[in-house]
Amino acid sequence: MTPRAITIRLAEHRDAQAIAMMSRDFIEAGLGWKYDAPRVIRAIRDRETLAAVACESGKSAAARGTLIGFAIMEFGEERAHLVLLAVRPSHRRLGIGQKLLEWVLQSARVAGIASVHLELRASNDAARRFYRAMGFYETVLVPGYYRSGEGRKEGALRMLRVLRQPGPVPYTWRPPRSEEDR
Ligand SMILES: CC(C)(COP(=O)(O)OP(=O)(O)OC[C@H]1O[C@@H](n2cnc3c(N)ncnc32)[C@H](O)[C@@H]1OP(=O)(O)O)[C@@H](O)C(=O)NCCC(=O)NCCS
């Protein structure tokens, strides 16, 4: 089977419901559902937040642009927080998570971000391996970080990827030589 083309683009209002359902089913399962559609819409509209989606083009018009992955990243001055990232189970291990992550990391670099931080469930071994493969390293385990409405608690693992040294970014260039020097 020929793989279908995948497009990564900025999330739009119409993507909010699919993003919210993926967050509920693949990220927040068992912890209560915080990223429902209204919250995702706020993230899409927020100027300090980047929401990207991966879509697969389909044969029929109905299947065109099926959402198969998404990433949401919040930008601070020098730190960015990767809030959510997921790929549908049917499309995992095809490099889509990597492409989505590279896409938001490139935006972070352009925005002058020095480091990207994230938390994941301590039990989420697949994501931990993914982020390690993507150059993140573990910083701290936070017991009881996640709490469900039913009082269930789960530890979080914090991970970090450094994009550049913190502090003002020096900018060096060589002015053009004068006519006499040429
Ligand atoms: C984590 C997740 C986003 C990875 O997406 P993906 O598209 O399957 O990842 P990729 O195909 O880009 O994987 C890139 C590399 O990461 C590593 N990796 C990814 N999934 C892995 C797994 N389950 N086990 C071990 N390594 C894994 C591998 O090195 C992989 O390269 P390879 O396939 O050539 O060996 C996906 O598993 C997912 O959506 N999980 C549920 C949601 C979640 O846990 N999100 C993170 C917390 S917010």
Pick the residue whose CA is nearest to atom 20 on ligand 1. Answer: 130
pLDDT at 60 over 80: no
pLDDT, average across residues 157-173: 92
Tell me the average pLDDT across 48-76. 86
Please indicate whether residue 63 or residue 38 has the higher confidence score (pLDDT). Answer: 38
120 alpha carbon to ligand 1 midpoint, in Å? 13
pLDDT over 70 percentage in the chain: 92
178 domain residue, yes or no: no
Domain membership of residue 161 (yes or no) is yes
pLDDT exceeds cutoff 70 at 20: yes
Atom index in ligand 1 nearest the CA of residue 94 equals 11
pLDDT in the model for residue 170: 83
Sheet containing strand 153-162, strands side by side: 6-10, 49-56, 66-75, 79-87, 115-121, 153-162, 137-147
- Mean pLDDT, to the nearest integer, of 99-111? 97
User: Quick check: is 107 in a domain?
Assistant: yes
Residue 79 within any structural domain of the chain = yes
Look up the pTM and report it.
0.92
Determine the atom of ligand 1 nearest the C-alpha atom of 131. 16
Provide the terminal-to-terminal Cα distance of the chain, rounded to the nearest Å: 59
Write out the residue range of the structural domain in which residue 58 sits: 6-168
Q: Number of folded domains in the chain? A: 1
Q: Is residue 55 part of a domain?
A: yes
Going from the Cα of 75 to the center of ligand 1, the distance in angstroms, rounded, reads: 23
Find the CATH number of the domain harbouring 74.
Answer: 3.40.630.30
- Output the average pLDDT for the chain: 92
Q: Tell whether 179 is covered by a domain.
A: no
Q: What is the pLDDT of residue 123?
A: 93
Q: What is the mean pLDDT of residues 45-52?
A: 98
* Residue ID of nearest Cα to ligand 1 atom 9: 97
**111-163 tens-digit pLDDT:** 999 999 999 999 999 999 999 999 999 999 999 999 877 777 889 999 999 99
Cα 159 to ligand 1 centroid, rounded to whole Å: 15
Structural contact between residues 41 and 16, judged by C-beta atoms closer than 8 angstroms: yes
- Any domain includes 181: no
Alpha carbon nearest to ligand 1 atom 42, residue: 86
What is the predicted pLDDT for the residue at 179? 74
